[in-house]
Amino acid sequence: MHHRRRSGLCRDQDVFVIALRVNGRDVELDSPTPLLAYLDELGVNSKAVAVELNGVIIDRDSYPTTLLNAGDVVEIVRMVGGGRVGASSSPAAP
């Protein structure tokens, strides 16, 4: 899914972009982009997220070599620590 848009640099020059969806939003990139570079561009700590690309969870070791391409559907999920929110009425474990 390549789209054409006019470049702001030169009125007569077309710039090709690729369109994809990231967390439900339409995103345009200038070219296929390594996942790790895209996360860095967003300011996202790659060690604190899980990434699903087209329905497949991507192994963190593959982030540098996994390319985001036209038509891809990406979900980036941040890992958050947690604990109990409130007191529980269930008995404590022995």
On whether residue 22 sits in a domain, the answer given is yes
On whether residue 92 sits in a domain, the answer given is no
Instruction: Per residue of the chain (94 residues), give pLDDT as tens.
Output: 444 443 333 444 566 789 999 999 999 999 999 999 999 999 999 999 999 999 999 999 999 999 999 999 999 999 887 766 665 554 544 4
Which residues constitute the domain of residue 67? Answer: 2-78
On whether residue 90 sits in a domain, the answer given is no
Q: Cα separation of 35 and 82, whole Å?
A: 27
User: Which CATH number is 65's domain given?
Assistant: 3.10.20.30
Q: Are 32 and 67 in contact (CB under 8 A)?
A: yes
pLDDT of residue 10: 41
Of 18, 53, 54, residue with least CA distance to 35: 53
On whether residue 83 sits in a domain, the answer given is no
Q: Are 58 and 25 in contact (CB under 8 A)?
A: no
pLDDT of residue 8: 36
pLDDT of residue 80: 80
